[in-house]
Chain A
């Protein structure tokens, strides 16, 4: 067949320009490297943990289109398991984090197998119900310390060499964990597997009729997301040297939705910026007590009404770049 004049070619929207991701990544890397010298390392470490948590959540909502309302389960329980194994079993931090992440992975397999059979609001409700079941278990179980949580978790020495008691060492280890998770997510969404996930998000019926067992892909994405959320939660337990009920309760599942939405669903850097803004707000407005929640609610409403793509999503759309 000869090339022919094609009718109705749509040239109205300019093409997406390349180069946005490397530039944004370089800026993020520079900021992470410099941050402990200009602000409190502990605050930035918390931001990095929440950023990884939100990136993991975004892998599911942004690239598969599944809204989990129970991601606190993986974040909070990995935090408990990591804190317990580091404090009671005496595991070194790297093994404690891995154990926490493995527990989150196991929970992800069980919860994901049940939840992916349903879609939309039913999917969200199943994930929420399972997370709340595990919240009550955390509240009742003895090893979690009930309302007191697990306090005084030792940071220890990573690989027997890196003394995490040193704030700067702890900071760069946290940064390395975040960057590893971030780059892993980047690799996932730019792999053939990621393309199938995007195809499922856009038109699952079509992906099925092309021959894909979409449930398997959704489950794999769910488990990856839960595991990475677990890495974030476990790292947070080492950073803050505690695990608490707050991390496993439903407002935490809501907070990660807000972080991802504010930054930009389906963008790489959106959850990172969202985590920075929400945590900075909580930190700066801490003197206003519960009013922080009102401010967060207002931001949520404004975000949905005014910039539905999120901050990074709007920037990417304005400059016609991928972020």
Chain B
């Protein structure tokens, strides 16, 4: 494993989470440094999405430690975690059907200064500008994903949790999402990404964590990818 960089933006240690009686996370430990794009990889059911939800406090029960900018979040409610400066883009995108694109985009509260303006979001996603008055659910999957990401950029959060942003999208849209993530990284955003599409993840990630059975079992940097390919195939079963 890589040495922990002191002063990480997000530090998770021994994170355990439950859905009702089901124990899903069994002591996940990881960290994300400021400005990094870190990807969680693993097979279905490994606990990747649950890790993001546990960071946001939207699982039934969780224990362990989640520190953001050195501040412990484990006892905070979900809305307080969002207002601390973490934004979550869920796999199902969570677009509000009765609101149009503009209303969806303007809905989130600004939790910090430095949130992107409407124009900056349209520069990232020009498609949204053309669909401003369309109802959220009338958008294509790609546009919904753009809206879901654009929406959280307005909040001013500097840590973005993206859950499978490319799921079900056409290759041309996946390429757009990848370009956007790279631009966001250039602008100083920190991103924790959950992705099944390893080919996509390898184009944006700085580091990877491999999860299995609710734990982090391995970690390597993107520069070490070639040395770890065989191991990775074994972990992911691809």
By a beta-carbon cutoff of 8 Å, the part of chain A in contact with chain B is 1-11, 13, 15-16, 192, 195-196, 198-199, 201-203, 205-206, 208-214
Contact = CB atoms under 8 A, between A and B. Distances in A.
Contact of A10 (B94, B124, B139, B180): B139
A206 B173 contact: no
A6 B79 contact: no
A211 B111 contact: yes
A8 B141 contact: yes
Contacts of B133: 15
A-B CB proximity, top 5 nearest: A211-B82, A206-B94, A3-B126, A7-B170, A210-B108
Nearest to B94: A206
Given A7-B140, A209-B56, A209-B81, 4 more contacts: A3-B126, A4-B173, A9-B140, A209-B88
Nearest to A205: B58
A199 B99 contact: yes
A209 B82 contact: yes
Contacts of A205: 58, 78
A209 B87 CA distance: 8
Contacts of A15: 133-135, 138
Contact of B79 (A1, A16, A213): A213
Interface residues of B, number: 48
B142 A212 contact: no
B54 to A, nearest CB: 12
B22 interface: no
Interface of B: 56, 58, 77-79, 81-83, 87-88, 90, 94, 96-99, 103, 106-109, 111, 124-127, 130, 133-135, 137-143, 151-152, 155, 169-170, 172-173, 176, 179-180, 183
B23 to A, nearest CB: 21
A203 B88 CA distance: 14
Contact of B142 (A7, A206, A210): A7
Contacts of A2: 126
29 contacts: A1-B183, A2-B126, A4-B127, A4-B172, A5-B172, A6-B127, A7-B141, A7-B142, A7-B170, A7-B172, A7-B173, A10-B138, A15-B134, A15-B135, A198-B98, A201-B98, A202-B96, A206-B90, A208-B58, A208-B78, A208-B82, A209-B81, A210-B87, A210-B152, A210-B155, A211-B79, A211-B83, A211-B108, A211-B109
B141 A13 contact: no
Nearest to B82: A211
A6 B173 contact: yes
Given A202-B98, A209-B88, A214 B79 contact: yes
A97 to B, nearest CB: 33
B229 to A, nearest CB: 30
Contact of A195 (B107, B130, B140): B107
Nearest to A266: B98
Contacts of B56: 209
A198 B172 CA distance: 33
B96 A4 contact: no
A211 B183 CA distance: 25
Most B CB contacts (10 A, CB to CB) among A1, A5, A195, A203 go to A1
Contacts of A16: 135
A15 B82 CA distance: 33
A213 B90 CA distance: 19
A16 B133 CA distance: 10
Nearest to B130: A3
B96 A198 contact: yes
Contacts of B134: 15
B236 to A, nearest CB: 26
Nearest to B89: A209
Nearest to A211: B82
Contacts of B179: 1
Given A15-B134, A203-B96, A196 B107 contact: yes
A209 to B, nearest CB: 5
B120 to A, nearest CB: 12
A16 B99 CA distance: 12
Contacts of A201: 98
A214 B151 CA distance: 18
